Structure 1
Amino acid sequence: MDKQFETIISYIKSNVSFIFLENYEVYLSELLKIVHKSNVFDDIYYVGNDNNLSKDRYEVLSTDLNDVNYFASQLIKYKEKDNVLIVANGFDHAFSEINNQNEAFIKLLYQIAVENMNSSSKGGEDRRFTILFSGANYTIPREIRDFSIKLKKLYPTIVEINDLISNFKFKHLPTVGFAKQLKNNVLSSNLQGLSDKQIIQTLSLLYLTFGPKLFQPQGRKINKEIEKKVKEIKKQQIEKSDIITIIDVDVDLDNSVKGLNSLRNYIYIQKKAFDYKLNLSTYNISLPKGVLLLGKPGNGKSLSAKAIASTLELPLIKFDISKVLGQYVGQSESKMKETLATIQSMSPCVLWIDEIEKTFSGTNNKDNDVMRKVIGIFLTWMSDENKGVFVVATANNVKDQLPPELTRKGRFDKIFYIDNPNLEAKVEILKLHVNKRIYKIVGTNSNIFNSSSNNKVIDDIYSHLKNKEFSGAEIEHCCNEGVKAAIINNLSIGNEKFENSNFEIEVLKNICEELKVTVPDSNQKNDNFNDLYKKLNKKYSEELEYIDNYANENNRTSDEKQEYSLNEEFTNNLKNIINSNINKEINSFISEKENKDTFENAD
């Protein structure tokens, strides 16, 4: 805090009329000690309800705004040659609410500022009259903006966190000597991302549970317990905003994600970059900034985001950017900056933004000025300010939906296209989901895919996987349904023992049937427009032929013709809908083809 104190003292000495300090309450007492020792002011007055600040050397004023108003007006009139500091704590409401009392107070402040500029004390020196406002959130009125300075304290550094821990120890431990002996353990890094007040509150909760053990060198077990408790408290503190969420991760790239080998190898390299971050900084090499995962739904983009955090051994934070939008002017931009500051204070970490194209789609609307400003803040942070936050964004499509600035180099290090899995990956995904669901029944060393007695049905399963386009989610669905049906068929209520020796083959047959019906035969892989034509012709020809036959008047009676005339509009609309669906499939094909050609394949 020393440098920040120096900055504040310099503003005071420069005779700034009004200094607004946000979130400095924890440090205010220490700051005023320094101000008092500097002998800059003849008198220091305190307005507020903090007993620690109102002791001894400060004259305490009423907390009522009317009394403050009267007192300030008297000071400006009768103490023209004295240097006076008024410390007003918790007067945010005097500027956020509009009423006669507050308007009169703002007019008085304007008068003070003008007279402060024009008055001088003995010896020809400028007279100092400063009001230091301390609180959580001040909206500075236009009338006094030019006479004011606002400083906002967001999140403490590691050094400041250690100072807060040390102060807490000296206050709560039995003796000073005992406090000096104890270390901060693993607390400092775990408390990153919390405000000063939240840190003090968290330390109190931890001390209630662990006592002096919180600061004593302990074995791995107690350290893990402390770390787990910190995470629980921290999660509750951070999620109050409802904008960011700390996600518990129980998946990893090795065991939970199949295929995506290029993405996997890239993340392993970034893991080394974070491990050697101190060495890299020596050579002015910045840490990786993140990846954009683009592709069809159901193929593991969200799962990969979680697995990336686990592999990098970093906390995962999910960011819902749409929730920063507020109803007041400037509120959205302010919330965006505060949220990014919170995220940055927790670095190194992984930041996950799901379906980013839905959040940013409004930037192309010329009337959506707020969203463009919010996105501008985010883009600036990604390219210039991001230090150690690995951003993982997921999207189904980016064409005409994301601002082009987001996909240029300097924001994301890599953009990976995730297609439906190839045959090898499909087989791995199937085995993963089957074994995960049956291991408690047949044991961890399942022979379900190696038994010769299962060869016929396994071949049928592989044939479906080879000849149809499945997403990872569709394969998981088939496995879940197939195993569920077999379990239900072999269990009775209250009995968890399996007597059926044919359970494994039953599971495989069920899965094979699910694979057969889940994805239609017409859903083949389309690599070119000829394949697309065949697929669409097969998919829609029967519907179009039915409509054409229905519309043919040659073989109709007069009653049928009359009925047809009544339904002509309906049949034409139906035909238009089918044609529209065909166009959508063609456009989707073109878009997917462009993505494949433009971006690196994750497999």
Structure 2
Amino acid sequence: MSKIDFIKDLSNFLKARFPYIYINTYEEERVIKEIENVCNREELIKTPRRVYEWSITSGFYNNNRVVDGSVNTPIKALEYIEGVSEPAVFILKDFHVNFGVQSKPINYEVVRKLRDMIIPLKHNPKPKNIIFVSPVTVLPDELQKDITFLDFDLPTKEDITDLLDDMIAINSSSGRIRININQQEKEQLVKAALGLTFQEAENAFARALVKDGVMDINDVQVILKEKSQVIKKTGILEYINTNLNMNDVGGLENIKRWLRKRNKSWLDSAKKYSLSPPKGVLITGIPGCGKSLIAKAVSSMWQLPLLRLDMGKIYNGLLGSSEENIRRAIKTAEAVAPSILWVDEIEKGLSNSGSGDSGTSSRIFGTFLTWMQEKTKPVFVVSTANNIDKLPPELLRKGRFDEIFFTDLPTLSERKAIFKVHMKKRLKNPQILGGFQITDDVITDLAQKTEGFVGAEIENIVITALYEAFFEDRCIDLNDFYKSILNTVPLSVTQAEQIKAIRDWANVRAVAATPKEDRSDYKVIDKVIPEKKPTDDDISSNRGGRTIDF
């Protein structure tokens, strides 16, 4: 809900004499300012109202001046409201504790008093309204038909921009802070802060300013760290802090190009082309071929927070109802948008069967699908799946994801890239290298000997070779890699039938993550499916997805 919508709805509720309005927000100060703004404008509500605030610690006060500090119980507060004879709005802070929270039972005396006051409030010649402002939503069944909920969103882009401009103006004039951002970088800083409360955004910008005395594009990471605190508090989403980048992903150039072309598509500059932010991608394929790496690397490429949705916690009864948990996870992802939501092994968490759980799985599945179809906030969903047989057809139809990518066994050029990444990452110490050199010939030789190996297995070959040298306390040599390769039984052997089934499915339903020029070096070898030598139809130059290149 925008700020304009909030003002419009609030003014209509007040004019219509709604007795009770419930606003769920942590930002008391900001929402009270908006309420006072509406109550003082005759053009909005016809009859201006005086605004009273109440808390159990301070009693009633107006304009920061105590009106009656002795009103320190909920019943006394409601009785005081009954006695006020002027048009007024009463903001009751943290009144939800009387509605039943955790170990504290419902205060039925308060609930009954609220029900008794409904008719008098509606028909009072001097209009009076009660607004509950609370950081959590708690509502007893007895009041469900009498209280109206009103959304109050987090600060808008304009609010955050004004805050950043004020902080830049104040600090740059002192001469101690240097500002080194252009307009687009400033927009990125603002977008990074969306999803924070006004106070959280102010803290994040202040932290960025004092870190090194410079405000620049690198401060996006400082703001994202502040966002991680918001995410951790949900208990359902996990903030993934990764330093991986696309250079750490060997091969898969098709999906890399696709992602590069959509970088910064959530910024205003994309609106000139009438573009909406991408919805997301589903990456399926053979285990160990880079699906999770892509999810982590896109976060670094796009400089957006990466949130991992733990489906196990969604179904954890200790956290509350499963349906509420998925809604809370979605709301949090949208609150920190633009963001990336990573749903790992989505087929395990979003089953459409609903068997044995009273339909809970089906309802969660439906909630997620509806959100995927209709979401307007820039939350890019990266879903990964290994067992494509369990993917329901509703998830795969157009409109849910922008594209479905398939990751096959690495080609020769991709295996070379994977070896290069892991060898350069781990073989840095000259004392370990000795006379061993990472040349193109060495990498090509190892790649040719690992036909049918997945990326994770190639990484493990490098690690195992290092363990051989470590055990004997010597420099590494090429034979260590050969030994590691000979002692590895690749997934393409142990799960040959499953891999063929995945390829058959992806050939008509997904786009190959590997570009056409790299797929030309696939080889037909007995090693891939040992029991039965594959035909050209089983392993073709176009295997593993439609021939579409980005």
- TM-score scaled by structure 2? 0.77
Task: Name 1:336's counterpart in structure 2.
Answer: 326
Choose from 225, 244, 257 the match for 2:249. Answer: 257
- Deviation (angstroms), 1:260: 1.8
Matched, 1:66 2:75: yes
> What does the per-residue CA deviation read over 1:424-462, in whole Å, with 9 as the maximum and x for residues that have no partner?
3223322332333223328899744457xx79xx85x45
Task: Name 2:299's counterpart in structure 1.
Answer: 309
Task: Name 1:593's counterpart in structure 2.
Answer: 504
**Alpha-carbon distance in structure 2 between the residues aligned to 1:42 and 1:464:** 81
**Alpha-carbon distance in structure 2 between the residues aligned to 1:391 and 1:158:** 22
The amino acid of 1:34's aligned partner reads N
**Alpha-carbon distance in structure 1 between the residues aligned to 2:500 and 2:419:** 26
Task: Name 1:476's counterpart in structure 2.
Answer: 459
Matched, 1:602 2:513: yes
Task: Name 1:128's counterpart in structure 2.
Answer: 127
**Alpha-carbon distance in structure 2 between the residues aligned to 1:46 and 1:265:** 55
Helix, strand or coil at the partner of 1:317: strand
**Alpha-carbon distance in structure 2 between the residues aligned to 1:58 and 1:37:** 19
**Alpha-carbon distance in structure 2 between the residues aligned to 1:111 and 1:52:** 24
Choose from 28, 51, 55 the match for 2:64. Answer: 55
Residues 313 and 319, structure 2, Cα contact 8 Å, conserved in 1: no
Task: Name 1:565's counterpart in structure 2.
Answer: none
Residues 155 and 341, structure 1, Cα contact 8 Å, conserved in 2: no
Task: Name 2:110's counterpart in structure 1.
Answer: 105
> What does the per-residue CA deviation read over 1:241-269, in whole Å, with 9 as the maximum and x for residues that have no partner?
2323333333333x222222322332233
**Alpha-carbon distance in structure 1 between the residues aligned to 2:178 and 2:298:** 36
Structure 1 range deviating more: 338-347 or 106-115 = 338-347
- Deviation (angstroms), 1:518: 0.9
- Deviation (angstroms), 1:280: 4.6
* Aligned CA distance change for structure 1 residues 182 and 11 (closer, same or farther; 3 Å): farther
1:344-383 alignment runs, 5 A limit: 344-361=334-351, 363-365=353-355, 367-383=357-373
Task: Name 2:395's counterpart in structure 1.
Answer: 406
Task: Name 1:416's counterpart in structure 2.
Answer: 405
Choose from 233, 239, 243 the match for 1:246. Answer: 239
Residues 319 and 325, structure 2, Cα contact 8 Å, conserved in 1: no
Kindly report the root-mean-square deviation, in angstroms, between the aligned alpha carbons of the 2 structures. 4.0
Choose from 65, 85, 92 the match for 2:89. Answer: 85
The amino acid of 2:92's aligned partner reads A
**Alpha-carbon distance in structure 2 between the residues aligned to 1:134 and 1:167:** 28
Helix, strand or coil at the partner of 1:482: helix
Choose from 1, 10, 16 the match for 1:14. Answer: 16
* Aligned CA distance change for structure 1 residues 27 and 311 (closer, same or farther; 3 Å): closer
Task: Name 2:450's counterpart in structure 1.
Answer: 465
Residues 249 and 306, structure 1, Cα contact 8 Å, conserved in 2: yes
- Deviation (angstroms), 1:116: 3.4
Helix, strand or coil at the partner of 1:7: helix
**Alpha-carbon distance in structure 1 between the residues aligned to 2:368 and 2:287:** 25
Choose from 454, 463, 481 the match for 1:511. Answer: 481
**Alpha-carbon distance in structure 2 between the residues aligned to 1:259 and 1:286:** 28
- Any stretches of 5+ residues in structure 1 without a counterpart? 122-126, 492-502, 526-534, 536-583
Residues 266 and 338, structure 2, Cα contact 8 Å, conserved in 1: no
**Alpha-carbon distance in structure 1 between the residues aligned to 2:318 and 2:383:** 28
The amino acid of 2:28's aligned partner reads E
Task: Name 1:569's counterpart in structure 2.
Answer: none
Helix, strand or coil at the partner of 2:65: coil
Helix, strand or coil at the partner of 2:288: coil
**Alpha-carbon distance in structure 1 between the residues aligned to 2:106 and 2:386:** 54
Matched, 1:434 2:417: no
- Deviation (angstroms), 1:302: 0.8
> What does the per-residue CA deviation read over 1:305-346, in whole Å, with 9 as the maximum and x for residues that have no partner?
122333344443323244344649985444433432332343
- Deviation (angstroms), 1:472: 1.1
Task: Name 1:95's counterpart in structure 2.
Answer: 99
- Any stretches of 5+ residues in structure 2 without a counterpart? 515-550
Residues 96 and 138, structure 1, Cα contact 8 Å, conserved in 2: no
1:264-283 alignment runs, 5 A limit: 264-271=256-263, 274=264, 278=268, 280-282=270-272
* Aligned CA distance change for structure 1 residues 329 and 368 (closer, same or farther; 3 Å): farther
Structure 1 range deviating more: 333-342 or 13-22 = 333-342
> What does the per-residue CA deviation read over 1:569-588, in whole Å, with 9 as the maximum and x for residues that have no partner?
xxxxxxxxxxxxxxx97567
* Aligned CA distance change for structure 1 residues 303 and 589 (closer, same or farther; 3 Å): same
> What does the per-residue CA deviation read over 1:170-222, in whole Å, with 9 as the maximum and x for residues that have no partner?
9xx79xx989x999975533322213343355466667x469x6xxxx4xxx5
**Alpha-carbon distance in structure 1 between the residues aligned to 2:440 and 2:20:** 78
**Alpha-carbon distance in structure 2 between the residues aligned to 1:422 and 1:595:** 17
* Aligned CA distance change for structure 1 residues 103 and 225 (closer, same or farther; 3 Å): same
Helix, strand or coil at the partner of 2:340: strand
The amino acid of 2:504's aligned partner reads K
The amino acid of 1:385's aligned partner reads K
The amino acid of 1:484's aligned partner reads Y
Task: Name 2:160's counterpart in structure 1.
Answer: 161
The amino acid of 1:474's aligned partner reads E
Task: Name 2:223's counterpart in structure 1.
Answer: 230
Task: Name 1:530's counterpart in structure 2.
Answer: none
The amino acid of 2:480's aligned partner reads N
- Deviation (angstroms), 1:516: 0.8
Residues 286 and 408, structure 2, Cα contact 8 Å, conserved in 1: yes
- Deviation (angstroms), 1:19: 0.8
* Aligned CA distance change for structure 1 residues 43 and 471 (closer, same or farther; 3 Å): closer
* Aligned CA distance change for structure 1 residues 4 and 32 (closer, same or farther; 3 Å): closer
How many residues are treated as equivalent by the alignment?
496
- TM-score scaled by structure 1? 0.71
* Aligned CA distance change for structure 1 residues 600 and 161 (closer, same or farther; 3 Å): same
> What does the per-residue CA deviation read over 1:478-523, in whole Å, with 9 as the maximum and x for residues that have no partner?
11111332245345xxxxxxxxxxx4xx521111111111117xx7
Structure 1 range deviating more: 105-114 or 57-66 = 57-66
Higher Cα Rg: structure 1 or 2?
1
Task: Name 1:144's counterpart in structure 2.
Answer: 143
Residues 45 and 59, structure 1, Cα contact 8 Å, conserved in 2: no
- Deviation (angstroms), 1:234: 2.9
**Alpha-carbon distance in structure 1 between the residues aligned to 2:485 and 2:255:** 27
**Alpha-carbon distance in structure 2 between the residues aligned to 1:438 and 1:329:** 45
**Alpha-carbon distance in structure 2 between the residues aligned to 1:107 and 1:167:** 48
Task: Name 1:538's counterpart in structure 2.
Answer: none
* Aligned CA distance change for structure 1 residues 64 and 168 (closer, same or farther; 3 Å): farther
* Aligned CA distance change for structure 1 residues 596 and 279 (closer, same or farther; 3 Å): same
Task: Name 2:37's counterpart in structure 1.
Answer: 34
- Deviation (angstroms), 1:235: 2.1
- Deviation (angstroms), 1:473: 1.0
**Alpha-carbon distance in structure 2 between the residues aligned to 1:193 and 1:94:** 29
The amino acid of 2:121's aligned partner reads N
